[in-house]
Chain A
Amino acid sequence: MTAWIDGQAVERDAAVAAAAELLAGARSPLVAGLCADAAAVQAAFDLARTVGASVDPAAGAAVYADLGALASVGAMATTPAEARGRADLVLVVGQAPWTAGLVPDLAAGDPVRGRASGRPRTLATLGGTGDGAVRHVAYPAGEAGIPAAIGLLRGLVAGRVAGPHPLADLAARLRDALYGVIVYDPAEIGALGAEMLTGLVKDLNETTRCFALALGDAHQGRTAMQVAAWSTGQGPRVGFGRGRPEHDPWRFDSGRQVAAGEVDAALWLAALPAPLPAWTRTVPSVALLGTPTGSEARIVIAVAVPGETAGAALWHPGRAAIAWHEAGAPAAAAAPDAAAILADLHDRLAAAPMRAPAAPTELSASC
């Protein structure tokens, strides 16, 4: 089964037609989730532009913590592969990175490239409880929490904190490292924490090299961020209601919009698994899902799972880039790509197609 209306299995075309009708009748539609490959995210933006929808990816919190810091102070970052090849000190901030695959991966080797090559790699954590299987030096964050501890560390590195301090030793390690890497989860430390961490990293680069390394989010937020940038000139959470893209993280927060009763129809795109918001069952919605049951929304359409049942351009956490993922499973009788369904919806809804009108045979000169 590949399509449902009100929980009843239907032909896919009927579901797409019903979805088009639902969105066509909406005055304030929402396109959300965007947990999908780049082509589907692109198609979602194209559809949103056409129907005047707002757009909000599922990856919200993590993406925003980093985007907020980025727009405030910038960044000084590196990649997982460079960290693995060059870092002589890895500082793991907080708890979240310990549950990602990156930390054991970094703990497994020593630097092999650049000037730190030949040195051992030291692992330290600030405010994390660590992992018993990985040898590391632990520094408590203190009662004020991790962002405050990062601030103290920054003060210590810059020589602005007088007297003995429990983090003084960590500050010295960072200053002495030749290629330090500070791993963090933006969702855990928030925009202010990420901003302070960037400040710490930038200060350290006055005398040595040190770079931040943010964990990617689990819901293709980094793909949505890039597609949003080239499609609208801005980061995500954007609204097309006035015919042009408007970037406003507060106004176009889907949770807020639904709670305020501002949305009269929605499309939820999760070709890859993402937590289903409760509103798909309260707001008239279309859900495009990689693994549907049929009851998630008024209209549900099954789509291919990118990187599994179809080749796809997806965020690759190990490469920190959008990368091609070959299809894994055999594609027999697979559901169509989300991009194809979205393009179909787009074509049905496009009021003014982006095609040339028939050229007149005589064009006047007005020069």
Chain B
Amino acid sequence: MLTRIAGGRVVDPTAGRDSVSDVWIEDGRIVATPDRGPDRTIDAAGCIVMAGGVEVHSHIAGGNVVLARLLLPELGVSEPDAPNPHGSGRDVGLLYARMGYTTAVEPAMPPVNALATQLELAEIPLLDRGGLCVMGNDDQLLQLLRDRESADAVRDLVALNVATSRALGVKVINAGGADAFKDGAVRFSLDDEVPAYGLTSRQILDGLLDAVEALKVPHPLHVHCSNLGLPGADDSLIETLEAAEGRRIHFAHAQFYAYAALDKDNPLTGGFKSAAPRIAEALARHPNATLDVGQVVFGQTATISLDVLRQFAGRKGASPKKWIVNAGDAEGGGIVPFRYRDRGPTSSLQFAIGLELMLLSPDPERTILTTDHPNGGPFTAYPRILHLLMDKEARDREVAAHPKVAAERSGLAGIEREYTLTEVAQLTRSGPAKLLGLTDRGHLRPGARADIAVYRDQADRTAMFARAHRVIKDGTVIVEDGEVVAWTRGRTLQLSVEADAGMARRTESYLQGRFGAGLSSFTVPDAAFPGRRADEPVFEAVACRT
């Protein structure tokens, strides 16, 4: 069926397009203007037409997301007609789709828990999904690095883990930090040694950066640095950026590192100010780097992280006063409930720094919008955040409502920039799609997947982005006026990567020794998803870079 989305203002930065025109779709794909009439017309007059939104970092599945719900039953509760971003996978899918998002990536899938994570991802309807395979604290990798095995061996182990867990990319979380925590450490930086291995965090990072490059994984290594949330954490991010030595690298939730210590001699007690200018400047100098923001928004949330060392160190800030830290096989996980208080000086400053980071961005395609859901707050805050980026006056009103320290210790108040719709599309569509290496989305050029969001052009940008007028996924209208009209199931994107047979044999022996269970126990076979029809497969392959 040939469909014409007619007369909307079409915004596609990848084609330099911002004009009132048509978008044509057929068989789930965008096509060039055809020489025949449409079978169906979707009137988009007065609307903004963009590609479907793409999420790169949101904790929407996995053992720790499950535990967060069980720790805080009150946070995930279902109310009539009020879907909850902390609730079921169904609610998560609905809430993303309603905002015009059509793809979302869970960034923290430990290979030891890949099957449960993938089962959960498959239960998030409406969206295409993916998971990043977490490495960097697992004993098999640390042993290879300690024994100075070849870069090829590290590459093969990474490939095997990605293939076995059916991941879309690779993430490292405070490399070596979880292992150090198990041996009693509470602080850990890039050049600290993992006690039992005599390896520094830097060496682990280096090995993984090389492996991801060698495998031609489209998504660069997704890095959660050490010292998250501490005054002086900007040093960790910049050191890690320098350590990449030009290799592609993605920094997760950079806002939580954009904290310059006020007192360099006593960084942990002297408070912090915004390091957003420093990070924006570093980003401008390093075209190999990208970041997502991890914007803070106000209210109750649960922080969920595999950085058990930092979660343990932050446990006394739990609100309410209950928390989980699990020393798992490799990372495990930590869940610390937290309330970002809108009259709290620290939360307000964090809020200002996140906005400042995006507004100082030298390239919005490389400063992706996230809240690190649910760590900075729920993803449902995106419409309000976009509004503030686009409207200086609204921003000034917002800042005025918070403690003065937010304006004094950040540069937010002095920034005049207002994001254009093109920049919004870069921040939420073309940027994240390019970052994930998904060439079939994030744009509206012929050949793209027909994942399209149509918004009413309203001055109230919060309202506009909160409930899309229409959302189209693979050519099917799934949302109308914010309500789901077709519960499609989406697919889970997995990287096509071959595992080396020799490494598979070595790993089989390692896993048997450690768990009494071999590789087959760690697989994610299609047979685990028997509820899906043959013509509706769960997984879709994504090719490596050529």
Contacts and interface: CB of A to CB of B under 8 A. Distances in A.
- Note whether A and B form a binding pair: yes
A14 interface: no
Contact of A356 (B87, B488, B515): B488
B514 interface: yes
Contacts of A178: 183-184
Contact of A365 (B45, B72, B524): B45
A75 B522 contact: no
Nearest to B487: A354
B251 to A, nearest CB: 28
A320 B45 CA distance: 55
Given A244-B78, A363-B42, A233 B487 contact: no
Interface residues on B, range: 35 or more
B475 to A, nearest CB: 10
Given A74-B324, A113-B139, A117-B196, A230 B517 contact: no
A292 interface: no
Contacts of A26: none
B445 interface: no
A367 B520 contact: no
Interface in A282-339: 311-313, 316, 318-319, 321-326, 337, 339
Interface of chain A: mostly helix, strand, loop or mixed: mixed
B477 interface: yes
Interface in B427-486: 456-457, 469-470, 476-478, 480-481, 485-486
B199 to A, nearest CB: 14
A361 B40 contact: yes
A232 B123 CA distance: 11
Interface string A12-49: 00000000000000000000000000110011001000
B544 interface: no
B403 interface: no
A325 B521 contact: yes
Nearest to A86: B182
B39 interface: yes
A109 to B, nearest CB: 11
B327 A324 contact: no
Given A38-B528, A114-B196, A230-B66, A362 B41 contact: yes
Given A230-B120, A365-B44, 6 more contacts: A70-B70, A230-B61, A311-B525, A322-B113, A363-B477, A365-B46
Interface of A: 38-39, 42-43, 46, 67, 70-79, 81-82, 85-86, 113-115, 117, 178-179, 205, 208-209, 211, 225-227, 229-235, 242-247, 311-313, 316, 318-319, 321-326, 337, 339-340, 343, 354-357, 359, 361-367
Interface of B: 39-47, 61, 63, 65-67, 69-73, 76-80, 84, 86-91, 112-113, 115-116, 119-120, 123, 139, 179, 182-184, 195-196, 312, 318, 322-329, 332, 335, 456-457, 469-470, 476-478, 480-481, 485-488, 514-517, 520-525, 527-531
17 contacts: A39-B530, A39-B531, A72-B322, A74-B322, A79-B332, A81-B329, A81-B515, A82-B327, A179-B182, A211-B326, A211-B327, A233-B91, A247-B73, A323-B522, A363-B41, A365-B47, A367-B457
